[in-house]
C-alpha cells in the first residue's frame, strides 16, 4: 500500500508525549498507541487512544501512514511493549512451583518466578500452534513463539511443566 | 379400551362380575393404602359410564355414574397421594396411594376427564394426548407406564452384566484383543517352564551326585539354558501382551469418553437442568478411567491368574494326580477365607470414604463461607466441628487397621499351612517311593506361586462391582435419548426473515403446566418485550423459541415451518442469545467473540466489538484482543463481560435475537452503556427481550404481559399505561419501590 496523506497529524512535544491533532484541528496530548492483537497479529490493527482511554484513531495497518508518523508510533509502541521472548531456558530451580527459571530472552538474560503451572498458557490461534505465554509472579508476560523450535534442553525442561 | 384380563389377578373376577355386559373398562388404578393410611390393596376402575371402587373399609364395590358435575382431584403430602371424587354437593369418595402410583393416578385422572366430558357432551372422547415422562419430558409410547430411561436410571441396580456392554467399544479392537489373549496364554505357559525344569535338575543331577554319580556339565548346561531361555521368553511375551492390551484398553476408554461426551452435548437443556455438574464430570472423567483401569489391570491380571491356575493344575495332575489333589484341596478354602476378610475390609474402606467425605464437607462448608464464620465469631465452633469429624475418621481407621494389620500375616500363615500340607503328604509319598524328590520340589515351586496370587484374585469381585457401577452410570447417559429429537428428514430452512408464529402453545414441565395456549405472531424485525412476575413463564417461552425444549401442545413456526421439523443446529444458527450471566470461555477475547463463527476475520471481530461498545475497554487490556479471559484469565467486570457476549451475538448476525434479562445484573450506569450496545444489536432484527426493569423495554414495539403462563395484555407502553391493567400495576409497583415499600395490592400475593 502506498503512503497517503494522513487525516491527522502526530507530533512529539517537548515532554516526550505524543500529540495528535485531529481533522477538526483539536490537539490531544498523551496519545497511547495500542496493538489490538498484541500476540497473534501484532501488525494488524493499531489504535491511537487518548490519555483517558478513548479511541481517537483506528489504523488497520501502519503501512498507509507517512513515514514520519509511522516511525513515531513504532517508537512509542516499542517503549510500551514489554513481552520478552524466551529463546532458551537455561535452568530451573525446581520442577515444583513456585520455581525460578533462568532464561535467555531477546532482551537479555533474566530470571522469572513461575507461581504455578496455570500461568503457562497455550495460545490457540490459527498460526501459533506452539506458542506459549508465561506470566511470572510480577505480572510480566514472557512469550515463547514456538516451543518446538526451542533447543532440546529447553524443551525437556518445559515439558515437565506442561 | 382395556380388557379386564390385564387387571391384577386379585380383582379380575370380582370386577368382571360388576360390569354390565356391554360396559367397557377404560382405566384402572391400583391403591395400596386405605382411608386410615394402613397398607391395604384396593382398586378404582373407570368404565365408559361409571367409576367403580373397592369400599373404604370392606370389600363391597361402590359405583358412581359419570356426570358433568363429577370432579377428580389429586394432591399429595409426605409421600401419600390422595385422589378425591366430588360433585357440586360435596366429596363423594377419597382414595389414597403411595407416591409410587402417582403417575398412574395422573393418567387415571386424565382418562376420567376425557370420559366424563364425552359422557356429558355425548361425543366420543377426544384422542388422548401423548403422555410425557415427568422427569425427562420424553414422549412415552401409549403402552408405556414409566419412561424406560428414567425408570432404569433410578431403579435398576448396577449389574455385572453391564460390563459386557462395553463390548460395543471393544469390537473395533477385536484383532488386537485376540492377539493379546494368545500372548497371555503363551506368556503364562512360559512362566510355568522353570518349575518343571527343577524336576530333572533335582532327580537327574543333584540327587545322583549326592549318591556318588559325577555331575554331567552338558546336561546342566542344557537345563540352565532352558531356565534362562524360558525366563527370556516369558519376559518378551509378557512385555508384548501388557503393551498391546494396555494400548487397547486405553483406546477403549478414550472412545468411551468421547462418545459419552458427544452424546451428552446432544442431550437437551432439560437433562443438564436435572443433573449436578459434578456428577456428570465424574461420570465422564473418573468413571471411564475406572473402567479403563479395570480392563487394563484387574481383568488382565485375573485372566492371567485363572489361566495360570488351570495350566498349573493340568501340569500337576499329569505328574502325579494324588499329590495334585492334596495340593489343590486347601486352595478353595484359603481363597474363601481371604475373600471373607477382604469383604470385611471393603466395608471398612467404604466407611472410611464416607467419613472422609464428611471431613472434606466441613472444609467445603466453611472455607467459602469464611466471611460469615468470622463475622459471627464462630471460628471455635467450626474448629470443633472439624475436630469431631477428624475424630470419627480416626475411630473408623483404628477399627479397620485392626483387621488390616491382621490380613497380610494371615495370608502368609495360610500359605505356609498349605505348603506344610504338601510337604507332609509329599514326604510320605517319597517314603513310599511313589514320587521322586524332584517331583516334590517342582510341586512346591508351583504351589508357592499361586498362593501369592490368591490375594490379588480375591480383589476381583469388588473391583468388578465398582467397574460395573461405573459402566452403568456411563450407559445411563448413552441410553438417554434427547427430549428435543432431531427430525429424521429435516426440512432445509429458507433464509429467515425473522417472523415467528407461536400457535396455541402449551408447555408442561413435569406435571406442572407452565404455559397455557400462548398465541403470538411476531413480525420480522419487531421488538417484543416480555414482562411479568418471575415464574410467569417468560423464560420458558424463550426457551421454547430457542428450541431448548419442545412444546407440549401447539406449534412454533418460523417462515411457516414447524421448528420440530428443522435440524436444530440449522435453526439455532439464526439465533443470537444474550443471557443475564454472560458466560466467557477460557481463551482470548477474540476467541470468545468469534465463538459462534470461528473463521471470522479480525476486522469482523473488531467491528462487532465496536458495535457492542467493547472495543475501547478491550484495547485497555494488556494484550488487547489477545488478552485472556474466562475461568482463570484477567477478570472483567460484569458489564464488560456482557458487552463481549453482545459482540459475540452480533458477529453471527442473527435474524432472531433473544435478550434474557441482559441488563439486570449490572448497575444503572453500566446498563446505559449496555443499552446503547444493545440498540446496535437490535436494529433490523426480530428481538425478544425479557427484562425485569420495565424502563429498559421502552423501545419495544409491543409489550407482552404474562401472568401464570398466560398472556394477559399486549400493547405498547403508552396504551398499556392508559388501560391501567396488569402492566400499569407492575409499572406502578416498580416506580413506587423507589419511594416506599409497595403496598400489598391485589397482586401482592402472586409468586
Question: A76 with A102, same domain?
Answer: no
Into how many domains does chain B fold? 4
- DSSP for A99-135, please give it: EEEEEEETTEEEEEEE--GGGEEE---SS-TT-EEEE
Residue B636 near residue B622 (C-beta atoms within 8 A)? no
CA distances from B586 to B104, B583, B591, B640 (A): 47, 10, 9, 15
Whether residue B175 is contained in a domain is answered as yes
Q: Does A39 touch chain B (CB under 8 A)?
A: yes
Which candidate from B587, B622, B625 shows the least CB-CB separation from A36?
Answer: B625
Chain B residues with CB under 8 Å of A55 CB are 615-616, 619
Chain B residues with CB under 8 Å of A123 CB are 588, 626
Smallest CA-to-CA distance from B628 within B588, B583, B585 is with B588
Question: A111 with A147, same domain?
Answer: yes
Please list, in sequence order, all residues whose beta carbon lies within 8 angstroms of the beta carbon of residue B5, skipping any fewer than 6 positions away. Answer: B12
Say whether pLDDT at B748 is over 80.
no
As a whole-number percent, the residues of chain A with pLDDT over 90 amount to 3
CA distances from B536 to A28, B314, B530, B714, B737 (A): 53, 76, 10, 15, 20
Question: B586 with B729, same domain?
Answer: yes
For residue B177, give the H/E element and its range.
helix B174-191
Q: Confidence class of residue B179 from pLDDT cuts 50, 70 and 90?
A: very high
Whether residue A100 is contained in a domain is answered as yes
For residue B251, give the H/E element and its range.
helix B217-266
Whether residue A104 is contained in a domain is answered as yes
The predicted-structure confidence for B255-292, as pLDDT tens digits, reads as follows: 988 998 998 888 877 777 767 777 778 778 888 888 88
Specify the higher pLDDT residue, B630 or B94: B94
Q: Residue B735 sits in a domain of what CATH number?
A: 3.40.50.300
Chain A residues with CB under 8 Å of B628 CB are 121, 133
Taking an 8 Å cut-off on Cβ atoms, the answer to whether B626 and A37 are in contact is: yes
As a whole-number percent, the residues of chain B with pLDDT over 90 amount to 5
**What residue has cell string 402472586?**
B750
Angle between helices B193-200 and B174-191 (to 10 degrees): 20
**What residue has cell string 466471611?**
B371
Whether residue B426 is contained in a domain is answered as yes
Please list, in sequence order, all residues whose beta carbon lies within 8 angstroms of the beta carbon of residue B467, skipping any fewer than 6 positions away. Answer: B163, B290, B291, B294, B295, B298
Specify the higher pLDDT residue, B72 or B229: B229
Shortest CA distance from A117: residue in chain B: B632
Per-residue pLDDT at B239: 93
Virtual torsion, Cα B661, B663, B665, B667, nearest 10 deg: -150
Taking an 8 Å cut-off on Cβ atoms, the answer to whether B625 and A124 are in contact is: no
What DSSP character marks residue B461?
Answer: H
Q: Confidence class of residue A2 from pLDDT cuts 50, 70 and 90?
A: very low
Residue B117 near residue B141 (C-beta atoms within 8 A)? no
Q: Residue B81 sits in a domain of what CATH number?
A: 2.30.29.30
Mean pLDDT of chain B: 81
**What residue has cell string 521472548?**
A85
Whether residue B228 is contained in a domain is answered as yes
Taking an 8 Å cut-off on Cβ atoms, the answer to whether B606 and A36 are in contact is: yes
Q: Does B628 touch chain A (CB under 8 A)?
A: yes
What's the maximum distance between 2 C-alpha atoms anywhere in chain A? 59
Please list, in sequence order, all residues whose beta carbon lies within 8 angstroms of the beta carbon of residue B265, skipping any fewer than 6 positions away. Answer: none
Measured in whole angstroms, how far is the alpha carbon of residue B330 from the centre of its chain?
Answer: 45
Q: Which three cell numbers stand for residue B500?
A: 415467528
Q: Tell me how far apart the alpha carbons of residues B456 and B350 are, in angstroms, rounded to a whole number.
A: 19
- β B587-588/B553-558 pair status: unpaired
Residue B506 near residue B517 (C-beta atoms within 8 A)? yes
Separation in Å, CA of B626 to nearest CA in chain A: 5
Whether residue B377 is contained in a domain is answered as yes
- β B575-578/B656-660 pair status: parallel
Which candidate from A38, A58, A60 shows the least CB-CB separation from B626?
Answer: A38
Whether residue B172 is contained in a domain is answered as yes
Chain A residues with CB under 8 Å of B631 CB are none
Question: B106 with B195, same domain?
Answer: no
Say whether pLDDT at B236 is over 90.
yes
What DSSP character marks residue A151?
Answer: -
Per-residue pLDDT at B744: 45
Picking from B140-144, B309-313, B481-485, B650-654, which range would have the lowest pLDDT averaged per residue? B140-144
Question: B664 with B732, same domain?
Answer: yes
Q: Tell me how far apart the alpha carbons of residues B161 and A114 are, in angstroms, rounded to a whole number.
A: 49
| A·B CB contacts under 8 A | 56
- β B50-54/B39-47 pair status: antiparallel
Chain B residues with CB under 8 Å of A53 CB are 616-617, 620
Question: A90 with A37, same domain?
Answer: no
The predicted-structure confidence for B477-518, as pLDDT tens digits, reads as follows: 888 877 777 777 788 877 888 888 888 888 877 667 788 888
Per-residue pLDDT at A3: 46
Say whether pLDDT at B635 is over 60.
yes
Say whether pLDDT at B233 is over 90.
yes
Chain B residues with CB under 8 Å of A117 CB are none
Which candidate from A44, A124, A133 shows the least CB-CB separation from B591?
Answer: A124
Whether residue A25 is contained in a domain is answered as yes
Specify the higher pLDDT residue, B36 or B85: B85
Into how many domains does chain A fold? 2
Q: Does B601 touch chain A (CB under 8 A)?
A: no
Q: What's the burial of B535, exposed, middle or buried (CB within 10 Å: 0-12/13-18/19+)?
A: middle
Taking an 8 Å cut-off on Cβ atoms, the answer to whether A53 and B615 are in contact is: no
CA neighbours closer than 13 Å in the CB half-sphere of residue B701: 15
The strand pairing partners of B436, in sequence order, are none
Give the domain-ending residue among A45, A80, A115.
Answer: A80
Taking an 8 Å cut-off on Cβ atoms, the answer to whether B626 and A124 are in contact is: no
What DSSP character marks residue B566?
Answer: B
Q: Does A134 touch chain B (CB under 8 A)?
A: no
| Mean pLDDT of the region B249-255 | 89
The predicted-structure confidence for B297-331, as pLDDT tens digits, reads as follows: 888 888 888 888 888 889 889 988 888 888 888 77
Which candidate from B602, B618, B622 shows the least CB-CB separation from A41?
Answer: B602
The strand pairing partners of B52, in sequence order, are B45, B63
Whether residue A44 is contained in a domain is answered as yes
| Mean pLDDT of the region B224-249 | 91
Question: A102 with A155, same domain?
Answer: yes
Taking an 8 Å cut-off on Cβ atoms, the answer to whether A124 and B622 are in contact is: no
Question: A91 with A128, same domain?
Answer: yes
Separation in Å, CA of A117 to nearest CA in chain B: 12
Per-residue pLDDT at B745: 43
CA distances from B503 to B76, B538, B545, B555 (A): 33, 16, 12, 5
Question: A68 with A90, same domain?
Answer: no
Smallest CA-to-CA distance from B42 within B90, B7, B2 is with B7
**What residue has cell string 508351583?**
B446
Smallest CA-to-CA distance from B625 within B638, B607, B649 is with B607
Specify the higher pLDDT residue, B664 or B348: B348
Q: Which three cell numbers stand for residue B747?
A: 397482586
Please list, in sequence order, all residues whose beta carbon lies within 8 angstroms of the beta carbon of residue B391, skipping any fewer than 6 positions away. Answer: none
Smallest CA-to-CA distance from B602 within A36, A77, A129, A58 is with A36
Question: B478 with B429, same domain?
Answer: no
Residue B27 near residue B72 (C-beta atoms within 8 A)? no
Question: A145 with A96, same domain?
Answer: yes
- Give me the sheet containing A120-122, strands edge to edge: A120-122, A132-135, A141-144
Taking an 8 Å cut-off on Cβ atoms, the answer to whether A45 and B590 are in contact is: no
Question: B365 with B247, same domain?
Answer: no
Which candidate from A34, A124, A141 shows the least CB-CB separation from B619?
Answer: A34
Taking an 8 Å cut-off on Cβ atoms, the answer to whether B620 and A47 are in contact is: no
Residue B245 near residue B300 (C-beta atoms within 8 A)? yes
Whether residue A1 is contained in a domain is answered as no
Q: Confidence class of residue B402 from pLDDT cuts 50, 70 and 90?
A: confident
Question: A55 with A102, same domain?
Answer: no
Question: B647 with B734, same domain?
Answer: yes
Instruction: Count CB atoms within 10 A of the CB of residue B16.
Output: 12
Q: Residue B226 sits in a domain of what CATH number?
A: 1.20.1560.10
Chain B residues with CB under 8 Å of A45 CB are 602, 606, 624-625
Question: A18 with A60, same domain?
Answer: yes
Q: What's the burial of B266, exposed, middle or buried (CB within 10 Å: 0-12/13-18/19+)?
A: middle
Q: Confidence class of residue B129 from pLDDT cuts 50, 70 and 90?
A: low
Question: A115 with A68, same domain?
Answer: no
Separation in Å, CA of B133 to nearest CA in chain A: 43
Shortest CA distance from B592: residue in chain A: A124
What DSSP character marks residue B594?
Answer: G
Question: B311 with B173, same domain?
Answer: yes
Per-residue pLDDT at B750: 38
Whether residue A3 is contained in a domain is answered as no
Residue B7 near residue B15 (C-beta atoms within 8 A)? yes
Interface residue of B624, B634, B673 to substitute, partner A, most A CBs within 10 Å? B624
Q: If you average pLDDT over each of B49-58, B235-244, B529-538, which comes out highest?
A: B235-244
Interface residue of B585, B609, B626, B631 to substitute, partner A, most A CBs within 10 Å? B626
Q: Does A40 touch chain B (CB under 8 A)?
A: yes
Q: Tell me how far apart the alpha carbons of residues B196 and B179 are, in angstroms, rounded to a whole number.
A: 26
- DSSP for B196-224, please give it: HHHHHIIIIIIHHHHTTPPP-HHHHHHHH
Smallest CA-to-CA distance from B264 within B297, B246, B288 is with B288
Picking from A67-81, B333-347, B421-435, B711-725, which range would have the lowest pLDDT averaged per residue? B333-347
Whether residue B616 is contained in a domain is answered as yes
Q: Tell me the residues of chain A between 90 and 119 that have a Cβ less than 8 Å away from chain B.
A: 118
Mean pLDDT of chain A: 83
Question: B111 with B190, same domain?
Answer: no
Per-residue pLDDT at B156: 64
Q: Tell me how far apart the alpha carbons of residues A23 and A11 are, in angstroms, rounded to a whole number.
A: 14
Q: Tell me how far apart the alpha carbons of residues B406 and B474 are, in angstroms, rounded to a whole number.
A: 37
Specify the higher pLDDT residue, B78 or A60: A60
Residue A137 near residue A115 (C-beta atoms within 8 A)? yes
Q: Does B588 touch chain A (CB under 8 A)?
A: yes
Residue B133 near residue B150 (C-beta atoms within 8 A)? yes
- Give me the sheet containing A9-12, strands edge to edge: A9-12, A18-21, A27-29
Q: Tell me how far apart the alpha carbons of residues B164 and A5 are, in angstroms, rounded to a whole number.
A: 76
Q: Confidence class of residue B228 from pLDDT cuts 50, 70 and 90?
A: very high
Say whether pLDDT at B749 is over 50.
no
Q: Tell me how far apart the alpha carbons of residues B136 and B134 are, in angstroms, rounded to a whole number.
A: 6
Picking from A3-17, A35-49, B98-112, which range would have the lowest pLDDT averaged per residue? A3-17
Per-residue pLDDT at B746: 43
Question: B333 with B375, same domain?
Answer: yes
Whether residue B387 is contained in a domain is answered as yes
Specify the higher pLDDT residue, A45 or B750: A45
Strand segments (E) across B402-526: 500-509, 512-522
Q: Does A87 touch chain B (CB under 8 A)?
A: no
**What residue has cell string 427430525?**
B487
Taking an 8 Å cut-off on Cβ atoms, the answer to whether B606 and A38 are in contact is: no
**Is there a cis peptide before residue A98, judged by omega within 30 degrees of 0?**
yes
Question: B245 with B105, same domain?
Answer: no
Give the domain-ending residue among A37, A63, A80.
Answer: A80
For residue B527, give the H/E element and its range.
strand B527-532
Whether residue A94 is contained in a domain is answered as yes
**What residue has cell string 470414604?**
B353
Give the domain-ending residue among A80, A109, A137.
Answer: A80
Residue B407 near residue B349 (C-beta atoms within 8 A)? no
What DSSP character marks residue A37?
Answer: B
Question: B60 with B176, same domain?
Answer: no
Smallest CA-to-CA distance from B696 within B489, B487, B527 is with B527
Q: Does A54 touch chain B (CB under 8 A)?
A: yes
Smallest CA-to-CA distance from B112 within B170, B41, B28, B38 is with B28
| Mean pLDDT of the region A20-34 | 84
* Structural domain for B232, as ranges: 159-318+460-483
Whether residue A37 is contained in a domain is answered as yes
Which candidate from A44, A53, A121 shows the least CB-CB separation from B620?
Answer: A53
Give the domain-ending residue among B86, B105, B128.
Answer: B128
Taking an 8 Å cut-off on Cβ atoms, the answer to whether B625 and A118 are in contact is: no
Question: A90 with A76, same domain?
Answer: no
Q: Which three cell numbers stand for residue B158?
A: 448396577
Q: Does A34 touch chain B (CB under 8 A)?
A: yes
Which candidate from B619, B623, B632 shows the least CB-CB separation from A39?
Answer: B623
Taking an 8 Å cut-off on Cβ atoms, the answer to whether B602 and A37 are in contact is: yes
Question: B254 with B314, same domain?
Answer: yes
Per-residue pLDDT at B138: 57
Q: Confidence class of residue B737 from pLDDT cuts 50, 70 and 90?
A: low
Separation in Å, CA of B252 to nearest CA in chain A: 25
* Structural domain for A117, as ranges: 86-159
Q: Tell me how far apart the alpha carbons of residues B512 and B134 are, in angstroms, rounded to a whole number.
A: 9
Question: A16 with A47, same domain?
Answer: yes
Whether residue B241 is contained in a domain is answered as yes
Instruction: Count CB atoms within 10 A of the CB of residue B107.
Output: 16
Amino acid at each position: 500500500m502506498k503512503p497517503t496523506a494522513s487525516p491527522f497529524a502526530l507530533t512529539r512535544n517537548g515532554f516526550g508525549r505524543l500529540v495528535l491533532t485531529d481533522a477538526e484541528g483539536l490537539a490531544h496530548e498523551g496519545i497511547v498507541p495500542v496493538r489490538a492483537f498484541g500476540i497473534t497479529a501484532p501488525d494488524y490493527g493499531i489504535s491511537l487512544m487518548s490519555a483517558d482511554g478513548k479511541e481517537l484513531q483506528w489504523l488497520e495497518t501502519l503501512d498507509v501512514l507517512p513515514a514520519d508518523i509511522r516511525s513515531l508510533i513504532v517508537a512509542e509502541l516499542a517503549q510500551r511493549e514489554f513481552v520478552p521472548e524466551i529463546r532458551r531456558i537455561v535452568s530451573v530451580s525446581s520442577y515444583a512451583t513456585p520455581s525460578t527459571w533462568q532464561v535467555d530472552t531477546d532482551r537479555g538474560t533474566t530470571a522469572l518466578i513461575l507461581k504455578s503451572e496455570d500461568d503457562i498458557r497455550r495460545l490457540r490461534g490459527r498460526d501459533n500452534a506452539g506458542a506459549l505465554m508465561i506470566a511470572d509472579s510480577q505480572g510480566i508476560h514472557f512469550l515463547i513463539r514456538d516451543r518446538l523450535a526451542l533447543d532440546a534442553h529447553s524443551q525437556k525442561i518445559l515439558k515437565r511443566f506442561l | 379400551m382395556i380388557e379386564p384380563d390385564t387387571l391384577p389377578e386379585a380383582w379380575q373376577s370380582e370386577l368382571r362380575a360388576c360390569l354390565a355386559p356391554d360396559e367397557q373398562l377404560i382405566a384402572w388404578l391400583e391403591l395400596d393404602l386405605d382411608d386410615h393410611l394402613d397398607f391395604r390393596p384396593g382398586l378404582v376402575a373407570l368404565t365408559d359410564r361409571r367409576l367403580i371402587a373397592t369400599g373404604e373399609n370392606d370389600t363391597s364395590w361402590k359405583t358412581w355414574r359419570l356426570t358433568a358435575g363429577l370432579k377428580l382431584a389429586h394432591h399429595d403430602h409426605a409421600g401419600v397421594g390422595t385422589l378425591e371424587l366430588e360433585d357440586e354437593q360435596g366429596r363423594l369418595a377419597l382414595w389414597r396411594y403411595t407416591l409410587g402410583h402417582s403417575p398412574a393416578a395422573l393418567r387415571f385422572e386424565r382418562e376420567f376427564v376425557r370420559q366424563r366430558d364425552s359422557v356429558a357432551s355425548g361425543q366420543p372422547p377426544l384422542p388422548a394426548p401423548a403422555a410425557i415422562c415427568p422427569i425427562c419430558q420424553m414422549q412415552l409410547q401409549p403402552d408405556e407406564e414409566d419412561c424406560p430411561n428414567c425408570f432404569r436410571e433410578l431403579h435398576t441396580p448396577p449389574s455385572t452384566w453391564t460390563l459386557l456392554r462395553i463390548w460395543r467399544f471393544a469390537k473395533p479392537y477385536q484383532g488386537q484383543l485376540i492377539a493379546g489373549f494368545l500372548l497371555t496364554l503363551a506368556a503364562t505357559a512360559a512362566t510355568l517352564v522353570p518349575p518343571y525344569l527343577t524336576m530333572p535338575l533335582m532327580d537327574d543331577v543333584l540327587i545322583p551326585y549326592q549318591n556318588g554319580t559325577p555331575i554331567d556339565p552338558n546336561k546342566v548346561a542344557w537345563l540352565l539354558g532352558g531356565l534362562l531361555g524360558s525366563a527370556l521368553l516369558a519376559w518378551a511375551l509378557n512385555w508384548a501382551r501388557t503393551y498391546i492390551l494396555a494400548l487397547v484398553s486405553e483406546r477403549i476408554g478414550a472412545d468411551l469418553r468421547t462418545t459419552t461426551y458427544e452424546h451428552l452435548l446432544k442431550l437437551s437443556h432439560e437433562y443438564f437442568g436435572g443433573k449436578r455438574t459434578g456428577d456428570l464430570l465424574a461420570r465422564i472423567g473418573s468413571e471411564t478411567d475406572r473402567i479403563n483401569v479395570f480392563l487394563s489391570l484387574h481383568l488382565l491380571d485375573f485372566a492371567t491368574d485363572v489361566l495360570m491356575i488351570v495350566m498349573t493344575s493340568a501340569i500337576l495332575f499329569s505328574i502325579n494326580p494324588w499329590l495334585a489333589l492334596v495340593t489343590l484341596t486347601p486352595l478353595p478354602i484359603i481363597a474363601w477365607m481371604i475373600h471373607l476378610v477382604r469383604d470385611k475390609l471393603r466395608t471398612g474402606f467404604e466407611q472410611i470414604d464416607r467419613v472422609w467425605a464428611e471431613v472434606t464437607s466441613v472444609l467445603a462448608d466453611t472455607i467459602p463461607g469464611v466471611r460469615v464464620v468470622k463475622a459471627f465469631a464462630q471460628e471455635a465452633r467450626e474448629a470443633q466441628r472439624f475436630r469431631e469429624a477428624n475424630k470419627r475418621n480416626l475411630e473408623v481407621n483404628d477399627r479397620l487397621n485392626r483387621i488390616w494389620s491382621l490380613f497380610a500375616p494371615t495370608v502368609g500363615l495360610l500359605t505356609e499351612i498349605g505348603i506344610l500340607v504338601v510337604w507332609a503328604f509329599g514326604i510320605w509319598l517319597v517314603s513310599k517311593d511313589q514320587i521322586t524328590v524332584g517331583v516334590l520340589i517342582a510341586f512346591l515351586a508351583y504351589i508357592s506361586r499361586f498362593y501369592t496370587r490368591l490375594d490379588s484374585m480375591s480383589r476381583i469381585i469388588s473391583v468388578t462391582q465398582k467397574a460395573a457401577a461405573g459402566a452403568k452410570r456411563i450407559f445411563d447417559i448413552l441410553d438417554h435419548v434427547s427430549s428435543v429429537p432431531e427430525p429424521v428428514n429435516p426440512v432445509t430452512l429458507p433464509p429467515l426473515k425473522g417472523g415467528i408464529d407461536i400457535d396455541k402453545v402449551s408447555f408442561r414441565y413435569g406435571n406442572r403446566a407452565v404455559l397455557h395456549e400462548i398465541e403470538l405472531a411476531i413480525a420480522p424485525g419487531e421488538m417484543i418485550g416480555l414482562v411479568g412476575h418471575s415464574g410467569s413463564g417468560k423464560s420458558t417461552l424463550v426457551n421454547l423459541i430457542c428450541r431448548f425444549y419442545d412444546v407440549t401442545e401447539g406449534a412454533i413456526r418460523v417462515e411457516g415451518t414447524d421448528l420440530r421439523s428443522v435440524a436444530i443446529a440449522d435453526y439455532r444458527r439464526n439465533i443470537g442469545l444474550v443471557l443475564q450471566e454472560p458466560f466467557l470461555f477460557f481463551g482470548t477475547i477474540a476467541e470468545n467473540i468469534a465463538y459462534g463463527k470461528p473463521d471470522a476475520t479480525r476486522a469482523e471481530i473488531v467491528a462487532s466489538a465496536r458495535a457492542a461498545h467493547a472495543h475501547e475497554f478491550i484495547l485497555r487490556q494488556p494484550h488487547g484482543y489477545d488478552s485472556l479471559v474466562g475461568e482463570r484469565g484477567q477478570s472483567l467486570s460484569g458489564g464488560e463481560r456482557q458487552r463481549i457476549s453482545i459482540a459475540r451475538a452480533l458477529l453471527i448476525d442473527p435474524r432472531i435475537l433473544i435478550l434474557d434479562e441482559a441488563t439486570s445484573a449490572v448497575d444503572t450506569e453500566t446498563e446505559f452503556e449496555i443499552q446503547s450496545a444493545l440498540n446496535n444489536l437490535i436494529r433490523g432484527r426480530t428481538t425478544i427481550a425479557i427484562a425485569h426493569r420495565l424502563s429498559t423495554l421502552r423501545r419495544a414495539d409491543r409489550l407482552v404481559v404474562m401472568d401464570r403462563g398466560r398472556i394477559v395484555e399486549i400493547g405498547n407502553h403508552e396504551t398499556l399505561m392508559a388501560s391501567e391493567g396488569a402492566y400499569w400495576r407492575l409499572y406502578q409497583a416498580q416506580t413506587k419501590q423507589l419511594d416506599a415499600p409497595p403496598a400489598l395490592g391485589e397482586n401482592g400475593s402472586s409468586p
